[in-house]
Amino acid sequence: MSEALQRAAAATPAADCHGLLCGLICASGFADPKLWVGELFEDFDPRDLPQAEAFRLLQGLYEDTLARLNSPQLDFELLLPEPGCSLRERTESLGAWCSGFLSGLGMGGLPGRAQLPEEVAELLDDLGQIARVDFELDDPSEEDQVAFEEVVEYIRVGTLLIHEELQPAVPPQLLS
């Protein structure tokens, strides 16, 4: 995904793109391509092969994300660099994911803070803090790696909670 976005001269990195899509889905239940394409590509041209390829991959990512956010298996995951990448790179990507998520929520029509459940408002505050992360460790320890994974899990579960609160599942109607 990252390589395709770079070839397409996308304005945002992969983690930020995924966060944006997740935020749109959580706020409005779906992500209208007219909204996110304009946000991710300055001058999108479907005839431009690298942009068309990036759009196709993003559309697949969107469909997979939508399914996972609505899955009873709770198998939603954040799109971040692999564990083999440096903790600095992974932390910067996590901050970009959170920033994209918050932008997507805003673009998708997030209700005002007063209309949000307290848990959701607190999560959004936390995500705002994480979006401004500044990594300063030269030689991260195993404890730093574990702490990073705990924050990723907190965000993953928090995203599922936000989605559930803003897009509650409608129980099936029984025929009488």
Beta carbons within 8 Å of 43's beta carbon, 6+ residues apart: none
Torsion of CA 35, 106, 30, 94, to 10 degrees: 100
Answering whether pTM is above 0.85, one says yes
Cα gap 37→90, rounded to integer Å: 25
Domain spanning 2-166: CATH superfamily: YgfB uncharacterised protein family PF03695 (1.20.120.740)
Cβ–Cβ < 8 Å for 144, 137: yes
Q: What angle do CA 61, 62, 65 make, to 5 degrees?
A: 85
Domain boundaries, the chain: 2-166
Q: What is the pLDDT along the chain (176 residues), one digit of tens a residue?
A: 999 999 998 888 999 999 999 999 999 998 888 888 888 888 888 899 999 999 999 999 999 999 999 999 999 999 999 988 889 899 999 999 999 999 999 999 999 989 999 999 999 999 999 999 876 766 778 898 899 999 999 999 999 999 999 998 765 556 65
Task: Give the closest residue to 82 by CA, choosing from 93, 69, 71, 98.
Answer: 93
